[in-house]
Structure 1
Amino acid sequence: MKTVVELLTDELKKAFAECGYDEQYAKVTVSNRPDLCEYQCNGAMAAAKAYKKAPFMIADDVAAKLAGSEVFEKVESVKPGFINLSLGGEFLKNYLADMAKDDKYGYSNAGKEKTVIVDYGGANAAKPLHVGHLRSAVIGESIKRIQRFAGNKVIGDVHLGDWGLQMGLIIEELRDRKPELVYFDENYKGEYPKEAPFTISELEEIYPAASAKSKEDPAFMERAHLATAKLQNGDPACTAIWNHIMAVSKADLKKNYDNLDVTFDLWKGESDAQPYIPDMIQKMIDDGIAHESQGAIVVDIQEETDTKELPPCIVRKSDGAALYATSDLATLVEREKLYSPDAYIYLADKRQELHFTQVFRTAKKAGIVPQDADMTFLGFGTMNGKDGKPFKTRSGGVMRLQYLIEDIDKAVYEKSSENRSMSEEEAKNTAKIVGLAALKYGDLSNQASKDYVFDIDRFTSFEGNTGPYILYTVVRIKSIFNKYAENGGRPEECSIDTAKNASEKKLMLSLVKFNEVFESAYKDNAPHKLCQFIYEVADAFGGFYHDTMILAETDEKKKQGYIALLGLTRNVLECCLDLLGIRTPERM
């Protein structure tokens, strides 16, 4: 199903051609002056030079040719050469009716589907999720859903930080705390216990303690390095402890990601890439891609078109150790082998842009991925407090994500307590849904690359461009539907009619933008564009609701038209909210 802009452009192309002008000038856009018209074409301005005619004369010709078209209610030529367009009622009604019949509201990407890997977790094993993990999880989940809606096969990977020195630190701290464990008995030859020797709470306390100790005790740090090397060389005892760390960590991380309504198809980590590293580096050396520099093995990534110098990608340090870049490159080796994706999308703090530039260029130079591989780094800004600095707890520490969610749930619960007509249990469950909407919408309504201020009071407000306001709009529509059905109405038999007033047409005009907005959000990996659209629709519904007697309408045909329009409005809003990873409650 074509977008409205495409259909209008087709109409203008015919008119331009019939008037003797090249159809390339017939581009239509949404009007930037909605007070004057709904859509516009400025092609006459560009055509004037080619045809040596005043632009208003060209505009007059095209406008005259469009007179009587059922597509338009009004076509107006305005000096110096603008063509202002207003849609016809029948055209608008029919377009919305077609949208309502389609599972994807007219959107189609048929024949362009691809396999996409979205890497958007980045949590570390043995550490709790904190506010720094929020944006990658929330934005990544939305990107994954948008890609799937477009018809792509999408594989979301959490890509855990589960390898390296942190594991050695935990193993040695555990040795100091519980030396009696069989893992530390060099003479033990039996099977290791299946139950972990620590809880998640203990594990989350062990790592920071070990990290602090390593900074003050060189001998402890040396032991940690030794334990890390033993783990990476397959030592049974260290491997058994590592398996416990991963099992306990994954269970807790899954619980916390579930609280965010964020899910992953793969729970892989840096450890999965390790077997590929030796052969990968050797091939780079053999192929002349990598070379030695001050004892390290590096790959030059500088290109002639670069305006600034870029450092080479180090794939092996002088002491033989691998780096994050090495692990990311080896992960690409595994992903190409297992999934052969057409595209990659990586979510991370925008300050990691250089790292991903190095990885992507090295991967293409070394032939790990095809030269034309579609590789996108989506760097996001920081979530800041009201002081403009990265969000912290009152004591200055990094806040756990769990506590942030609890705070926003509490704020929503307290704000909605005054006008409550539901049980305590339903109120708390609803507060969780609305709180998560406030959190996610507050984040996603900002362009991903921009920093933003986390303002719990503004985000939880039931007025303005906020998650709670959008959810309240959907719930209000559901309430109208329920009342209509309770009074004997049959919503499924209602059909959209032509607009009866200006606010109804405004709502219709906002809904027909869905296809082009979604396509833009999909191509640009930009959930914030869906947020802008959602708010426009919700705001238009507010005007329509205020101006129109919906259930009190005595003309049954009019009432059915209203109900059908509201049904489409609800469905489109819920669809877009789902693409953002936001659920809607039945009541508020």
Structure 2
Amino acid sequence: MKKILELMEQELRAAFTACGYEEKFARVVLSNRPDLCEYQCNGAMAAAKAYRTKPIDIANAVVEKLTAPKELPVFEEAVAVMPGFINLKLSETFLVDYMAGMAAADKLGLEEPEKKETIIVDYGGANVAKPLHVGHLRSAIIGESIKRMGRFMGYEMIGDVHLGDWGLQMGLIIEELRDRKPELVYFDETYTGEYPTEAPFTISELEEIYPAASAKSKADEAFKERAHQATLKLQKGYKPFRAIWDHILAVSVADLKKNYSSLNVDFDLWKGESDAEPYIDDMVQMLTERGLAYESQGALVVDVAEESDTKEIPPCLIRKSDGASLYATSDLATIVEREQDFCPDRYIYVVDKRQAMHFEQVFRVARKSGIVKPDTKMIFLGFGTMNGKDGKPFKTREGGVMRLEKLIADIDEAVFARIMENRTVSEEEARETAKVVGLAALKYGDLSNQASKDYVFDIDRFISFEGNTGPYILYTIVRIKSILGKYKDNGGCVSSLAAEKKILPAKGVSEKALMLQLAKYSEVLENSFAETAPHKICQYIYETANAFNSFYHDTKILSEEDETQKDSYIGLITLTKRVLETCIGLLGIEAPERM
């Protein structure tokens, strides 16, 4: 099903070419003066320069073609306005026909992409042996929404958590475990049996072991050196340390999956930096043989600067002088692995914007070396910081980094208190509803901001049932559900409503405004994904909720005596519900039955 703008432009192209002008001038946009018209075409202004004709003459000629009698006119009104604008209002009949098409179509009329690209979304970035904290929030929920959007559009989306599971932190944990539990068989060099299947620590113990080991390494050089040696032995495949490492991964990943699940976030791949390790040596050799990697002050680097650069782009450091790999090495090797496994058409990295330079260097090496094809898109979606009301990165009252599960619990409790103020439901139901609404408040509060910008985490504003918030959106959906429930209780048929209820031309301004808002659906979804911009979906949801609520306040839906008209209203609000529920689903949000 074509987007509504495409259908309008189709009409304009025919009109422009019929008048002897190129169809490229037939672009339609939303009106910036909705009090005058719904859409407008400014092509006559540009055409006037190309054809050396007055723009108003071109506009008048095009309008004459547009207003010629047709069986199903697209425009109710087309007017040429000085100095050459074309103001457009959609035909009521055409708009209703478009609503019916959306209601009957799969995915509400969203078209499948011409090419079903395979797209890797790299998001999450948690470290094993450490709890998720608020710093992991944005990557997880922005990445999840991008993955869901692309999958809904029809692309092959592959989400990878890309765990930090390699390096010195592993050696620190191993040596701290040795100091605490020297009797474990992993530290008995004479032991030759099978290693235990059960981990010698719980997730709580593990999360306490790492910070203790890290602090000890800063005060004890001997311990730090032991940790380095343990890391080297692990990376060379020393069996006892590999067994401990397997335990660390198993315990950590199980806990991470639980915590990500509480955010309604999941991943197709649970790979980590360790998975890239087998690819590093061959990759470094390839870079060297192709003359790209060279030695500089003992380290191995690749020049990535280009003549068109407006700022300095330093060489990409591939290996340190002591032979150690770096994040760039691991990230490049991960791309090598992904190319072998999936050969993706596009990469999207959802990472803190402060890592922009790092990924610019990595992407350039990947292109320059031929690790990826020249036409492979590599997108860095850098996000800003979640700040407290003081404008600084969000902290606990004690000044520490807040655990993510604590943040979720806090917002759930705040929503629960707000629900219980009215006391219209049981405490048990309020608790369950608070989890759904709290998650919506948290995710919508984040996603409604442009990803690259910092924002202030304000729990009172996020949980408000008014304004551009998650609870307001959910309340609107629940209001529609309530109307449909009452309609059913009064004997109305609610099965396959969208297909059964014929939507009639709008009777009032707010009804048509709602239809026009729903008609933007496909355009918004396609643009939001193309620009990796979930905030645009949020803005569309908010405007749609506002349009529905205006219609609701202007219209007596259930008390309408004309059954045909009532059916039309029911069909329209059912379509509205489907649009809203589809869009919040793309953000990883669900709506409760009651609030």
Percent identity reads 69
What secondary structure sits across from 1:122 in the alignment?
Answer: coil
Correspondence 1:532 to 2:539: yes
Out of 365, 370, 375, the position equivalent to 1:367 is: 370
* Alignment correspondent of 1:121: 124
Correspondence 1:145 to 2:148: yes
Distance 1:337 1:47 in 2: 49
* Alignment correspondent of 1:9: 9
Shift of 1:421: 2.7
* Alignment correspondent of 1:503: 510
Shift of 1:152: 0.8
Task: Kindly provide the amino acid, as one letter, of the partner of residue 349 in structure 2.
Answer: Y
Shift of 1:298: 1.1
Distance 2:451 2:527 in 1: 15
* Alignment correspondent of 1:414: 417
* Alignment correspondent of 2:65: 65
Contact 2:113 2:155 in 1 (8 A): no
What secondary structure sits across from 2:343 in the alignment?
Answer: coil
Out of 263, 266, 270, the position equivalent to 1:263 is: 266
* Alignment correspondent of 1:427: 430
What secondary structure sits across from 2:379 in the alignment?
Answer: strand
Distance 1:524 1:89 in 2: 32
Contact 1:59 1:82 in 2 (8 A): yes
Shift of 1:541: 0.3
Deviations 1:298-347 (A, max 9, x none): 11111111122211111111101101111111111111111111111111
Correspondence 1:208 to 2:211: yes
Shift of 1:224: 0.5
Correspondence 1:340 to 2:343: yes
What secondary structure sits across from 1:416 in the alignment?
Answer: helix
Distance 2:313 2:421 in 1: 58
What secondary structure sits across from 1:173 in the alignment?
Answer: helix
Contact 1:298 1:316 in 2 (8 A): yes
Contact 2:468 2:542 in 1 (8 A): yes
What secondary structure sits across from 1:257 in the alignment?
Answer: helix
* Alignment correspondent of 1:20: 20
RMSD of aligned residue pairs (Cα, Å): 1.1
Distance 1:182 1:109 in 2: 57
Distance 1:282 1:124 in 2: 29
* Alignment correspondent of 1:44: 44
Shift of 1:200: 0.6
* Alignment correspondent of 2:278: 275
Out of 323, 327, 332, the position equivalent to 2:326 is: 323
Shift of 1:261: 0.3
Correspondence 1:357 to 2:360: yes
Deviations 1:214-256 (A, max 9, x none): 1111111001001000100111111111111111100100000
Task: Kindly provide the amino acid, as one letter, of the partner of residue 211 in structure 1.
Answer: S
* Alignment correspondent of 1:102: 105
**TM-score normalised by L of structure 1:** 0.98
Contact 1:165 1:228 in 2 (8 A): yes
What secondary structure sits across from 1:415 in the alignment?
Answer: helix
Contact 1:25 1:44 in 2 (8 A): yes
Task: Kindly provide the amino acid, as one letter, of the partner of residue 556 in structure 2.
Answer: M
Q: In terms of mean alpha carbon deviation, does 89-98 or 281-290 score higher? A: 281-290
Out of 138, 151, 158, the position equivalent to 1:135 is: 138
Sort the Cα spacing of 1:17 and 1:429 in 2 relative to 1 into closer, same or farther, 3 A.
same
Matches of residues 116-515 of structure 1 in structure 2 within 5 Å?
Answer: 116-491=119-494, 492=497, 493-515=500-522
Correspondence 1:572 to 2:579: yes
* Alignment correspondent of 1:584: 591
Shift of 1:17: 2.2
Q: Which runs of 5+ in 2 are unaligned?
A: none
Shift of 1:134: 0.2
Shift of 1:212: 0.8
Shift of 1:460: 0.3
Number of aligned pairs? 588
Distance 2:344 2:9 in 1: 35
Q: Which runs of 5+ in 1 are unaligned?
A: none
Task: Kindly provide the amino acid, as one letter, of the partner of residue 579 in structure 2.
Answer: V
Deviations 1:366-386 (A, max 9, x none): 222112221111100011111
Distance 1:51 1:233 in 2: 72
Distance 1:498 1:295 in 2: 75
Contact 2:144 2:266 in 1 (8 A): yes
Shift of 1:33: 1.2
* Alignment correspondent of 2:32: 32
Shift of 1:195: 1.0
What secondary structure sits across from 2:115 in the alignment?
Answer: coil
Task: Kindly provide the amino acid, as one letter, of the partner of residue 524 in structure 1.
Answer: E
Q: In terms of mean alpha carbon deviation, does 284-293 or 541-550 score higher? A: 284-293
Contact 1:113 1:150 in 2 (8 A): no
Contact 2:420 2:427 in 1 (8 A): no
Contact 1:141 1:581 in 2 (8 A): yes
What secondary structure sits across from 1:418 in the alignment?
Answer: helix
Contact 1:25 1:43 in 2 (8 A): yes
Q: In terms of mean alpha carbon deviation, does 564-573 or 181-190 score higher? A: 181-190
Q: In terms of mean alpha carbon deviation, does 178-187 or 157-166 score higher? A: 178-187
Task: Kindly provide the amino acid, as one letter, of the partner of residue 293 in structure 1.
Answer: S
* Alignment correspondent of 2:563: 556
Task: Kindly provide the amino acid, as one letter, of the partner of residue 478 in structure 1.
Answer: K
Task: Kindly provide the amino acid, as one letter, of the partner of residue 336 in structure 2.
Answer: V
* Alignment correspondent of 1:83: 86
Distance 1:72 1:587 in 2: 40
